[in-house]
């Protein structure tokens, strides 16, 4: 495992030490957890954005959408165990 050096000002070191102590961890473990959580969040965001981009491409390709009001009403009815008709699509104008 390689060693990486990060330079922290005294205020940040104190904040990390206090937060680590509050979390019951060493400063080292706290920093590793913080880095791990940040990397994981960036990966999740990246995956979310990729899915959103693909869905946007699909919308642009077919040119049809469902209004939020219609979608919400449909999903609310489904959550109550009802069998509503699927909402009608509308053409987008680009």
CB–CB of 30/23 below 8 Å?
yes
- Please check the confidence at residue 93 and state whether its pLDDT lies above 80: no
What's the pLDDT band for 59 if we cut at 50, 70, 90? very high
Name every residue whose Cβ is closer than 8 Å to that of residue 84 and which is 6 or more positions away in sequence.
Answer: 73, 74, 77, 78
Write the pLDDT tens digit of every residue in 17-54: 999 999 999 999 999 999 999 999 999 999 999 999 99
CB–CB of 51/82 below 8 Å?
no
pTM of the model: 0.71
Region of poorest pLDDT, from 39-43, 49-53, 55-59, 88-92: 88-92
CB–CB of 94/60 below 8 Å?
yes
Name every residue whose Cβ is closer than 8 Å to that of residue 78 and which is 6 or more positions away in sequence.
Answer: 84
């Amino acid at each position: 495992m390689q060693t990486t050096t990060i330079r922290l000002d005294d205020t940040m070191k104190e904040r990390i030490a206090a937060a680590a102590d509050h979390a019951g961890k060493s400063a080292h473990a706290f920093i590793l957890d913080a880095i791990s959580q940040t990397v994981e969040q960036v990966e999740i965001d990246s995956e979310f954005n990729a899915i959103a981009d693909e869905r946007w491409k699909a919308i642009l390709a077919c040119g049809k959408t469902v209004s939020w009001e219609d979608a919400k009403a449909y999903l609310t009815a489904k959550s109550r165990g009802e069998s509503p008709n699927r909402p009608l699509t509308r053409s987008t104008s680009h």
